[in-house]
Structures are given as C-alpha cells and as structure tokens.
Structure 1
Amino acid sequence: MFHRAWQLCGKWCRWSSPFIHLLTLTVVTFGVLAPLICHRLLHSYFYLRRWHLNPMSRKFLEQNQQEGQDALHYFEKMQMPNASEASSSDAFQPLLLITIITVQRQNDFHYVLQVASHFHRLLQKCGVHCQNYRMLLCNVESDPSSHQDVRLLSSLFPTVSRDRTGENPDPGLNQFEKEKQDYVFCLEQSLLVYSPEYILLVED
C-alpha cells in the first residue's frame, strides 16, 4: 500500500503534472504578481497600509486645506452685495432652493466655503437656465456668531441661524439626534423663508 501511495504521489508531483502547473501558477499569481501589482490599491486585499495610508492621508488633508484656501480667496475677491438676514417677506419663490447646513469646524479647511463655492460656480455656469435657483445658509452652530465663514458668506447669501446660546445642553442627546433636529430646523426655515418647489439639503 505504501508503494502504491508513493507511485501515486510521484505521478502527481512530476513537473509535467497539471496539478504542479496549477499549484505553481497559483503561488506565482497570488504570492508574487498580485502583491506587486495591487499593493497600492486602497481596497485591495494586498494593500500595504503602513506604506501608503499615512502618506495618502497627509496628501488628502493638504489637498483639502488648499481647496479651503482657494474657496476663501474665491469669495474674498467677489463683489459682495449687502445681503441681509433671510426674511419671509421675500416675494420670490425659487424653483430649487439649495440649503447648506453648517457648523463651525477647523478653520483651515473652510468646509462651508468649499461647498458654497462649488454650488455658486455651478449656478454661474448654468446661467439663465438656473435663474430660479437660490442658495440659503443654515447655521446650526450653538453660538452662531462664532462661525467665521458664515459671517463672510452672509454678505452674499441669505442666512438663517439656530441660536442655542444660553440653552442647557441635553446630556442624553446623541450626535445623530442633534443632526436630525438640525435638518428639521433647516428644512422648516427653508420652507418658511422661500417656500420653494424643491429643496436640496446638503451638509458641509
């Protein structure tokens, strides 16, 4: 029996054996070629996080910071009209109202400026076809006056604020519930101020 098993093993283990060919191909493919080719692909099984993730994160943050500075310069160079606080007395009823929900974040990245600049460029590029579109800023920062980017944009876009200054924060209120309440507030204010046919709620 041992001799028979040895003969069978020798038959399968010869270089000309299909089994050896398949085994060699598998080892070369998944042990050599795939790691060499896929080690830079973020969602690959062979992605080497220690080599690439930290530099990629730094590069992304630097790019995001640069885009924030570009958005800041974009609005600083614009001729700012004197746009007052949003008022329900406005007779204009837009077809689409883009409401940007914002809170104060890291100043260097200017997230709300990035979002607002992208939408503003799109509306400018659209021209007369988008003349019935409007933008509204919804500031849900607990202290609205501390949001510096909104102060800059308030001279260009109508703004509503959810002032919670002096309120006692609810310790049982989690982040998800707070964001849900902020969305409800901004949606209600959008309907109250403009009563548009359509509303697009976005978060910075």
Structure 2
Amino acid sequence: MSTAGIDRRTRRRQETIEEILDVAVELMEAEGVAALSLSAVARRLGMQPPSLYQYFPSKMAIYDALFQRGSELQRDAYRTALDSSPSQDPLEQLLVAATAFCRWCLEHQVLTQLMFWRTVPGFEPTPAAYAPALESLDDLRNHLQTMSDAGYLHPDAASDEGLALYTSMTAGLLSQQIANEPDASFEDGRFIRLLPVVLEMFYQRYAPTRGKK
C-alpha cells in the first residue's frame, strides 16, 4: 500500500474520532455529562456499536479523550490571552488570562464539568489526558512566581497553598455561575463578573508585605 493510502486512512480515522467526540459533547449537553451512551453516539453517527469500539473501547475512553481535548483547548486559550495581552503589567496580564480562562469555561460548560467537577462516577483521566491540565497549573504557578519576583505578590502566592486558593476562588465563581445562570454571558453573569473582585482578594491575601510588622 502506498504512503498516500496510509495517510488517507490515518486522516480519515482521525476525522471519525473527532466526529465521535463532537457528537458525544452534543449528547452530554442534552442528556447530562454522566448520561453519555455509546449506543446513542453510534446511532447519531449511523454506525453499529461494534464499529464504534474500533475507535473507543469504552465510554470511559471517550470521557478520557474529551478531558484531554478540553484541557488542551483551555490551556491554549489561557496562553494565547497572556501572550497577546496589550499590557506589560503582571496584574493586568493575570486578569486578562483569568478572563480568557473563565470565558472558555462558560462557552464549553460540558467539558468544564468533566474537567473540574466529578460528574462521572468512577472516571479518572489517564496520565496522558491529565498532562495538559498539569501544564496549565505550571503556567499559573510561573505567572504568580513572576509577579512575586517583581514585587507584586508575596512569594507564598506561588506556593501549593497559593495555587489551591487561587483555583478554589475562580472555580467557585464558575460553579456558582454555571449552577445558577448557565445561559448568562460573561459580562452579564452576576457571579462571574466578580472575577476582578476575587483577584483583588487574592492580591490582598498575598500582598508583598504579608507577615511583616
């Protein structure tokens, strides 16, 4: 078989995988994240369930692929916003990046629930699927460390405690927004628009003078 034939087969397989994942998201939006059914996915695609197993051996495998896809997209949205920020001020840059992160989460609520809430009993992402999420945490830690090095924040801001507090505060806003006003925009949502206030609270907690008398 020619290389061109192999490439076409590989490309077609990848296209089918992406189509399966797209349909899975549509069904999860309609029925709930934990209610995904392989049979329903197969029916929507016009294929028999055994054919679907050639691409994903189980429902958990689809969740795993979606977790990785979402983590990569969320990571890239954060990085793009940070790289394209018109300001060189680290405080403003963090707000820009945090805003991009929250916007992405509100625009992809099914993936957000899968990634940040334990909505599927028994599901744990594989190390490969979880790797982009760890990269996102490293991005955040590095930015907080940069802010600390520049004198904007206390060094503890980039500690494990600091990351836990930061992610808890932002995740709390997202959780409240999605639970109470899932259809509201970022600008209109009464919870998510408190993001600058939450960041200010974080800055106050880790002010450069923390612990000094």
TM-score where L is the length of structure 2? 0.29
> Relative contact order, CA 8 A, sep 6+: which one is greater?
1
| Structure with greater strand share of residues | 1
Return the TM-score normalized by structure 1. 0.29
Say which structure is richer in helix: 2
